[in-house]
Copies of this chain bind each other. A is one copy, B any other.
Amino acid sequence: MREEIDVFHDLRRRLCSGEFAYGTKLRAEALRKDYDCAASTVRENLLRLSELGLVDFQEQRGFRMPEYAPERQHDITATRIMLESEAACRAMRQGGVEWEAQLSAAHHKLSHIESRMSARGMTEELLRLWSAAELEFHQTLLSACGSPLLMELHLIVYYRYRQVNIEADRALTDLAENIEEHKNILDAALTGDEDLMRRRIYEHFKRHLVLGESAQTTTLVSLAG
């Protein structure tokens, strides 16, 4: 890799792409070659990413890809469900026809890519397109919620979610269900039924809730209440 790649965004992408195994040491001195820049530039960006929870940082001990932990996966997923439900429901209240149209458009693009994936299998290029389209769909879903901060927090959690569910994305095991779930979320949005939206969002993410009953109950309760 040469010439003017934004280190921050590219590192964030790689951290969520499965390129680094959990717990891998991230050496600024090694990564600099990928970007043709100084080690301290890489260090700066690793520090920023550590503030977002995508990199583990310990003083005098450098940077690491976070270790995998099922409780972490569960926590991230449950938190994403909460934020996304809350924001989506607010968007349903406040967003008008314009929002519905944008969401339709975003779903159409996403759906197109997912069909391709299901037909001709996965490539690096296709995964990248899908990542962008999937993020755009979910961000559009929340875009009319009226709270920039809520969307900012969602984005923080979104990347952590991607990072901790890397395998799930690469294996196309659940692709068919995924397509269906995105469609169901779109439908709920057009219906205007908030409880339905909450259920659909929960259905979309629940396979990554890996902990036992008692912990899941928390989510279910807050879904009911």
Contact = CB atoms under 8 A, between A and B. Distances in A.
Contact of A215 (B51, B78, B146, B152): B146
Contact of A52 (B44, B51, B94, B222): B51
Nearest to A154: B153
A213 to B, nearest CB: 13
A23 to B, nearest CB: 19
Interface residues of A, number: 35
A103 interface: no
B153 A76 contact: no
A148 interface: yes
A47 interface: yes
Interface string A141-160: 00000111110110011001
A218 interface: yes
Interface of A: 40, 43-44, 47-48, 50-53, 75-76, 78-79, 82, 86, 89-90, 93-94, 146-150, 152-153, 156-157, 160, 194, 215, 218, 221-222, 225
